[in-house]
Amino acid sequence: MEIFNYMENFDYEQLVFCQDKQSGLKAIIAIHDTTLGPALGGTRMWMYESEEAAIEDALRLARGMTYKNAVAGLNLGGGKTVIIGDPKKDKNEEMFRAFGRYIQGLNGRYITAEDVGTTVEDMDIIHEETDYVTGISPAFGSSGNPSPVTAYGVYRGMKAAAKEAFGTDSLTNKKVAIQGVGNVAYHLCKYLHEEGVKLIVTDINKEAIQRAVNDFQAEAVEPNEIYSVDSDIFAPCALGAVLNDVTIPQLKASVIAGAANNQLKEPRHGEILHQKGIIYAPDYVINAGGVINVADELYGYNRERALKKVENIYNNIESVIEISKRDQIPTSLAADRLAEERIAKMKNSRSQFLLEGKHILNRK
């Protein structure tokens, strides 16, 4: 990958490599865009096949956060960290403390939180070194684990997408196929089960599957069967790039609404879904509940206020579908348009503001 080329093409601001030999920390912080405010995005710990794959993931996820935060109406930019390593074996306290010091060194340009492979406990350790971390323990007056709130947002967004596809937002008796029943999807299953949804689940972790089978009477299928099962809604809740040339032709669902980041392998896959008449709830619009929740910490966390904002994901999905229908474009592009318009407007007004400031100073 030509890193500077890639950064230039997609307007990235900064890429930071952090290493600490003693603790084994190898982290990459990507800051995409801070027009709307400091970059807020989680830290993912994953066993990447190569350093290049880790860099690419950090960059793609950071850009996703810029768009997510913009559409969610947050005054925050987008960034993300990946830590290279096995979250089950390679974590230690020194690693997260070292990482915390790197975040502190960015002086507030980047604020972190949980993502795949990191926990509230990890954030608490980071907090020993920096205030630029959210999703820390409620004992600190903080919001804790964002996953249940992300699940609530996905549930709300799924209902809005269902309304477009089925004429009603009731999910009772609908079949929902869920890929990956981890932190977010477990809570999503709870909401769906309570509404009388028939759940079909898969995971590469047998215990996670068993929990969903036991707790929600879900039907379990093999990971490669989840795309082609008979379902009304497909909810990708594992990792990215799962909507691609191989999987899309297998889908029976009329709606795609799930928590995973970067679900489309390439932008053209959004166009293919549009042509097939599948209602795709854009990932970064529907899965913004977690970031909305942790961002509320910046104002002194108030759960009721945060959940009210998360409910709005229903309206955000409705707006995206409206633009998609009006302009005859895929929902993925409609969402991009919403985000880019908000950022562009702010870029203009910020430069005007700065010009004025300079003008006043000159007068003095």
Ligand X SMILES: CC(C)C[C@H](N)C(=O)O
Ligand Y SMILES: NC(=O)c1ccc[n+]([C@@H]2O[C@H](COP(=O)([O-])OP(=O)(O)OC[C@H]3O[C@@H](n4cnc5c(N)ncnc54)[C@H](O)[C@@H]3O)[C@@H](O)[C@H]2O)c1
Q: Which residues, in sequence order, are bridge partners of residue 332? A: none
Report how far residue 227's alpha carbon sits from residue 222's, in angstroms, rounded to the nearest whole number.
Answer: 10
Count of CB atoms situated within 10 Å of the CB of 94: 14
Closest distance between ligand Y and the C-beta of residue 281, in Å?
13
| Residue 328 zone, left/alpha/beta (φ > 0; ψ -120 to 50; rest) | left
Does residue 306 bind ligand X (CB under 6 A)?
Answer: no
Check: CB of residue 251 under 8 Å from CB of residue 165: no
Q: What is the CA radius of gyration of the chain?
A: 20
Handedness of CA 31, 33, 35, 41 (dihedral sign): negative
Closest distance between ligand Y and the C-beta of residue 15, in Å?
19
Which of 29, 71, 178, 260 lies at the binding interface for ligand Y (CB under 6 A)?
A: 260
Which of 78, 180, 270, 330 lies at the binding interface for ligand Y (CB under 6 A)?
A: 180
Q: Which residues, in sequence order, are bridge partners of residue 45? A: 83
Does residue 241 bind ligand Y (CB under 6 A)?
Answer: no
User: What residues act catalytically?
Assistant: 80
Which of 202, 254, 324, 331 lies at the binding interface for ligand Y (CB under 6 A)?
A: 202
Point out which span in 24-32, 113-121, 136-144, 305-313 binds ligand Y (CB under 6 A).
113-121
Closest distance between ligand Y and the C-beta of residue 345, in Å?
25
In 3D space, the residue among 126, 106, 116 whose CA is nearest the CA of residue 146 turns out to be: 116
Closest distance between ligand X and the C-beta of residue 335, in Å?
14
Report how far residue 108's alpha carbon sits from residue 267's, in angstroms, rounded to the nearest whole number.
Answer: 31
Check: CB of residue 262 under 8 Å from CB of residue 60: yes
What percent of the residues of the chain are helix, what percent strand, and what percent coil, each to the nearest 5? Answer: 50, 15, 35
Does residue 87 bind ligand Y (CB under 6 A)?
Answer: no
Q: Which residue is nearest to ligand Y (CB)?
A: 182
Check: CB of residue 80 under 8 Å from CB of residue 62: yes
Does residue 287 bind ligand Y (CB under 6 A)?
Answer: yes
Does residue 258 bind ligand X (CB under 6 A)?
Answer: no
CA angle (326, 154, 122) in 5-degree steps? 135
Region 79-118 residues binding ligand X, contact defined as CB under 6 A: 113-115
Which of 45, 181, 294, 317 lies at the binding interface for ligand X (CB under 6 A)?
A: 294
Report how far residue 76's alpha carbon sits from residue 361's, in angstroms, rounded to the nearest whole number.
Answer: 28
Does residue 290 bind ligand X (CB under 6 A)?
Answer: yes
Nearer to ligand Y, 288 or 333 (CB): 288
Closest distance between ligand Y and the C-beta of residue 10, in Å?
19
Closest distance between ligand Y and the C-beta of residue 205, in Å?
4
Nearer to ligand Y, 52 or 225 (CB): 225
Check: CB of residue 292 under 8 Å from CB of residue 40: no
Chain residues that interact with ligand X, rule: CB under 6 A: 40-42, 68, 113-115, 135, 146, 261, 287, 290-291, 294
Chain residues that interact with ligand Y, rule: CB under 6 A: 114-116, 146-147, 150, 179-185, 202-205, 208, 223, 237-239, 259-261, 287, 290
